[in-house]
Structure 1
Amino acid sequence: MICVMSKELHEHDENITAHVAVIPDSFKGSASAVEVAEAMARGAREAFAERGLPVTVHTLPFADGGEGTLDALLGAWGTEALTVKTTDALGRPARARFGVSDDGRTGVIEAAEANGLPGVSDVPLRPRDASSRGVGPLVTELLDRGVEEILLCIGGSASTDGGTGMLSALGVRFLDTEGSELPDGGGSLTDLADVDLTGLDPRARAVRWRIACDVTNPLVGERGAAAVFGPQKGATPEDVRVLDAGLARLADVLAQATGAELRDVEGMGAAGGMPATLASILGAELVPGSRMVAEVLDAERLLGGADLVLTGEGRFDSQSLGGKVVDAVRRLTPAHVPVVVIAGSVSVTADELHRSGVTAALSIARGPRSLAEMRDEALPEITSTAYQCCRLLTHPGLPGTVKPVPGLTKESRP
C-alpha cells in the first residue's frame, strides 16, 4: 500500500508516516544536486504539512559519475571539498578539488578538476601536449590521507595521453628507445619503447580503484579515443592520426609489461584513454557511473523503504532512460512505488514514459521563458512543482493507492 495516498493518513493515525525519497541529479548550469534535493524536499514537506499528514523526507543528492558527482557525494557524506595545488592539462599551476567520505575510507576525484577542458579554455587547444599529470597530486593526497578506495570520474578531459601523465606523477616512467622519459602528452607516445614500474607508489596498487565510465569506445581505431573525442579537444585529422598511433603503441607496451591486452576492450577509450593505464597497471575496474554512485550511497536501501520517490534533472528525454540518474533511480525503486520526475524540460513521449516505469514527469516551466529566466527561477519552481505533486498525491478525495504500471513487477521494471 502506498501510504501517501491512503485514507488512513487522513484519519491522522500517528503510527503512519509517509516516507518520501528525494534523489535528483543537478540541473546543469542552474543548480547543484544538493540544491535541487533541498528544493524538492521543501515542496514535499509543505504539501504534507498543509494536509496535516506526518512525513519523513529523505534527501540524497545523486549524479551519474560525470560532472557534479564530487558535489553530490560531498553533499550526501556531509563533508567539505578539499583542494590541492596541481597543474592543468598544459602544465600550468592550478588548484583542484577532491573529496573524502565521512568515514575517511573513500576518496573521490573528478579528473577534469585538473586536466579538464575548462581549465585550458583561455588558450588555443594543444591536443598533442595536453596531459593528465595534474590528476596525480590529487591521488597522492588521497593516499596520504589513508583512503581504501578511490572513485575516479573521468569525463571532460582535455588530454589524450592514455593516462600516462597521471601515472608518471605517481612514479611510473614511460621511456623511449634511449631510456629517456617521454615528454608529457599523447603526441609523444609514438616513441614509447618501455614502461618502468619500479618507482610506482606502492600505495596506488593497494587501494581499490573504480572508474565511472559510461562510454563503450575502445582505445584505438575508428571508435577510439583519438578519433571520436580528439576533435572535441582541438585535434586536427593529422593530430588524430598521431594520437591514435601513440595510443596503439601504448597498448602494445602495456601488454608486454603487464600482460593486459586492452586495445579492443570496451570503455578503454574514455577520457583520452585514461582507463587503459589504470586498468593494466593498477587493476582499476570500470563501472557505469550511476551504478557506482548508487552503491557508494546505498541508494537501493533508501529507495526500498520509500512510499514516494521524487527525482529529476535539467532535461528529461529518451537519453535519460539509458544509464543516467533517472534510469538508475527507477531501476532501484520497487515497482509498486511511484517515481515522479521533475525536470526543467520534459520531452519523452507518453509511450516512452509508460514503458520506462516512471509514474509521471513534470516540467518546472510555466509558460514561455528564456533559458536565463529558467536558470534564475529554477529552485523556487522546483519547490513549487514538488509541492503541487505531493499536494495531489495526498488529496483526501483520492481513494485507495497508486497502482503499479500494468505488467510491471519489482523484478520486471526495466
Structure 2
Amino acid sequence: MSTALHAHDETVDAPPAVRVVVIPDSFKGSASAVEAAEAMADGAREAYTDRGIPVSVDALPFADGGEGTLDALLGAWGTEPLTVDTTDALGRPTRARFGVSPDGATGVIEAAEANGLPGIADVPLQARTASSRGVGALVTALLDRGVAEILLCIGGSASTDGGTGMLSALGARFLASDGTELPDGGGRLGELASLDLDRLDPRAREVRWRVACDVTNPLVGPEGAAAVFGPQKGADPEDVRVLDTGLDRLADVLTETTGSDLRDVPGMGAAGGMPVTLTALLGAEVLPGSQMVAEVLGAEKLLARADLVLTGEGRFDSQSLGGKVVDAVRRLTPQNVPVVVIAGSVSVGRDELRRSGITAAFSIAQGPRTLDQMRDEAVPAITWTAFNCCRLLAHHPRQPAPGPDPATP
C-alpha cells in the first residue's frame, strides 16, 4: 500500500465516501499484521474504485499482546524498531528489539525478545536457572529515553522466576537469610528471605506499567505458573515442585514487603509469574493484550466511524472468539456495522458465526493448496479475498449487516 498505515486516504470530489477499516492480526508464518493490513486495504480500495464508489480506507495492524505485538504497534505508529545489547534466558549475550511511539511517551517490549523459548532452542532447556534478567536491559533502554509508559508483552517466556531477574537488572536485590544475593532463576527462590529495594532504579516506579496477559492462572498451585507452564520450559516433576515452592516463598516476601498477597490473583502465573513482582513493587496494571493494544492505538474511535470492517488472522476458529484480535474487533465495532473475517482457514460453524456478531468469514485459499503454497501466496491471496468481498458489498455500501441474532443466546 502506497499510503502510510493508519493514514486516511479518500477519493476527492466524490463525498460521501464509504469508510472501510482494515484491522487484522498477523497470519503467523505467512504475513505480518502490517502486511495483512496493507493487502486488505489494497483489495478494498481497488474493489470500490472499480465500481466508481468513493472510498476511505484506514489500515491498522493489530495484535493481541502476544507474539507480533511489537511489530504491529511499530507498523501502526510508523516507527522503526530499536535494539539494545542484553542477555537471553540463560545469560548469553544477545540483541533484543523494542519500540517507542512517535511522541516518545510510550515504549513497548516483547519480553520474549530477551527471555523467550525460541532464543534458547539450540540447547537443552534449563527450567530452574532460566531468568528474566535480560528483559531489564530493555526496560532500562526505555527509561533512558524518558518514556512515561511501558507496555510489556510477556508471552513466550522461558523463565519461571517471578520476574525477579528483570527486577534485579533494575537494581532490586533478592536476598537469602545470610544477606547474600540469590542467583538468577527460580530454582533458588525457596531460600528467599528478604528484599532490598534501596538500589531499585527510581524511574521504574515513576512510569506507568501495562502488562499484556491473556491467561488467568494464579501464581502457585496446580493451576499456577510452574505446574501449568513449567513442563513446556523443560521442568520435570521435581523441577515443578521446586519452582512452585520458590514462587510461593516469593509471594510470602512480597506480602511482607507490601502488605498485599497476590498469589491467588488471576493472571499472576503468566510468563513464569512475572506479573507478581511488577504489580506488587511497581504498581503494574495487568490487562488482556487485545484491550491494551486497542487502547494504545485508539481502535475504538476508528471503528466507531466505519461503514465496513475487515479483520482476520491465520486461523479463524472458536478460540478466535475468546479474547483474540477478531473478538476484540467484534466487541469494539458498533453492532450495526458489518465485520468480515478474512483468514487462512475458517472452521467456525454457521450457528457459532450467527451468535458471534461476525457478518461473514472467508478463507484466502484459492483451490487445493499445500501449507507451504498457502504461506508463499498469503499476501496476494489476502488482497484477492478482500477485493472479492468488497466488490460484492459495493452493490449496497450503506446497508450494514445485522448484529447477533437476538433470539439466539
TM-score normalized by the length of structure 1: 0.94
Partner of 1:308: 308
**1:404 and 2:402 equivalent?**
yes
State the secondary structure of the residue aligned to 2:61. Answer: coil
Q: Distance in 1 between matches of 2:42 and 2:285?
A: 38
Q: Secondary structure at the match of 1:134?
A: helix
Secondary structure of the 1:187 match is coil
Quote the residue 2:351 is aligned against. Answer: 351
Q: Does residue 90 of structure 1 match 2:107?
A: no
In structure 2, the residue matched to 1:367 is 367
For the residue of structure 2 that corresponds to 1:66, the secondary structure is: coil
Provide closer, same or farther for how the CA distance between residues 315 and 403 of structure 1 changes in structure 2, counting only shifts above 3 A.
Answer: closer
Moved more, 48-57 or 203-212: 48-57
Corresponding residue number in structure 2 for 1:57 = 57
TM-score norm. by structure 2 comes to 0.95
Instruction: Verify the 8 A CA contact 1:172 1:200 in the aligned structure 2.
Output: yes
State the SS of the aligned residue for 1:218. Answer: coil
Letter in 2 for 1:390: C
For residues 194-233 of structure 1, what are the structure 2 equivalents within 5 Å?
A: 194-233=194-233
Question: 1:315 Cα shift?
Answer: 0.3
Q: In 2, Cα distance between the equivalents of 1:189 and 1:47?
A: 59
- Code of the aligned partner of 1:342: I
Q: Name the CA distance, whole Å, in 2 between partners of 1:247 and 1:197.
A: 19
Matches within 5 A, 1:21-32: 21-32=21-32
CA 302–142 in structure 1, closer or farther in 2 if over 3 Å, else same? same
Distance 2:302 2:403 in 1: 21
Q: Which amino acid aligns with 2:391?
A: R
Q: Distance in 1 between matches of 2:74 and 2:398?
A: 39
Question: 1:405 offset after TM fit, Å?
Answer: 3.0
Report the counterpart of residue 145 of structure 1 in structure 2: 145
Deviation at 1:407, TM superposition (A): 4.5
Q: CA RMSD in A?
A: 1.6
- State the distance in 2 between where 1:346 and 1:309 align: 18
Paired residue for 1:9? Answer: none
Instruction: Tell me, yes or no, if the aligned pair for 2:354 and 2:405 is still in contact at 8 Å.
Output: no
Q: How does 1:333-348 map to 2 (within 5 A)?
A: 333-348=333-348
- Equivalents in 2 of 1:355, 1:13: separation in Å? 40
Contact 2:65 2:292 in 1 (8 A): yes
- Alpha-carbon distance between aligned partners in 1 of 2:17 and 2:397, rounded to the nearest angstrom: 17
Kept in 2: contact 1:43–1:387 (CA 8 A) = yes
Question: Is 1:331–1:413's contact at 8 Å kept on the other side of the alignment?
Answer: no
Q: Which residue of structure 2 aligns with residue 156 of structure 1?
A: 156
Q: Is residue 253 from structure 1 mapped to residue 267 from structure 2 by the alignment? A: no
SS at match of 1:186: coil
Given that 2:313 and 2:342 are in contact with CA atoms closer than 8 Å, whether structure 1 keeps it comes out as: yes
Q: Matched residues in 2 for 1:358 and 1:399: separation?
A: 17
Which residue does 2:6 correspond to in 1? none
Alignment partners' CA distance in 2, 1:158 and 1:328: 27
Q: Can you give the 5+ residue segments of structure 2 that lack an aligned partner in the other structure? A: 1-11
Distance in 2 (alpha carbons) for counterparts of 1:354 and 1:45: 27
* TM alignment of 1:93-104, pairs within 5 A: 93-104=93-104
Q: Map residues 372-411 of structure 1 onto 2, 5 A cutoff.
A: 372-395=372-395, 401-405=399-403, 407=405
Using the alignment, how far apart are the partners of 1:14 and 1:176 within structure 2?
72
Shift of the alpha carbon at 1:368? Answer: 2.1
Task: Give me the whole-angstrom Cα distance separating, in 2, the residues matched to 1:337 and 1:21.
Answer: 11
Contact 1:90 1:130 in 2 (8 A): yes
AA at the equivalent of 1:361? A
Q: Distance in 2 between matches of 1:400 and 1:288?
A: 33
Q: Is the 8 A contact 1:87 1:93 kept in 2?
A: yes
Does the 8 Å contact 2:110/2:154 carry over to 1? yes
Q: In the aligned structure 1, how far is the partner of 2:401 from the partner of 2:99?
A: 41
Structure 1: distance between partners of 2:400 and 2:288: 31
1:31/1:379 contact within 8 Å kept: yes
Q: What does residue 114 of structure 2 align with?
A: 114
Partner of 2:9: none
* Matched residue SS, 1:122: coil
User: Partners of 2:72 and 2:14 in 1: how far apart?
Assistant: 33
Q: CA deviation at 1:14?
A: 2.1
CA distance in structure 1 between the aligned counterparts of 2:15 and 2:306, rounded to whole angstroms: 16
> In structure 2, what is the equivalent of residue 174 of structure 1?
174
Q: Which residue of 2 aligns with 1:6?
A: none
Pairwise CA distance, 1:370: 1.2
CA offsets 1:279-313 (integer angstroms, 9 cap, x no match): 00000010100000000000001000000000000
Verify the 8 A CA contact 2:307 2:400 in the aligned structure 1: no
Query: Shift of residue 403 of structure 1?
Result: 3.7
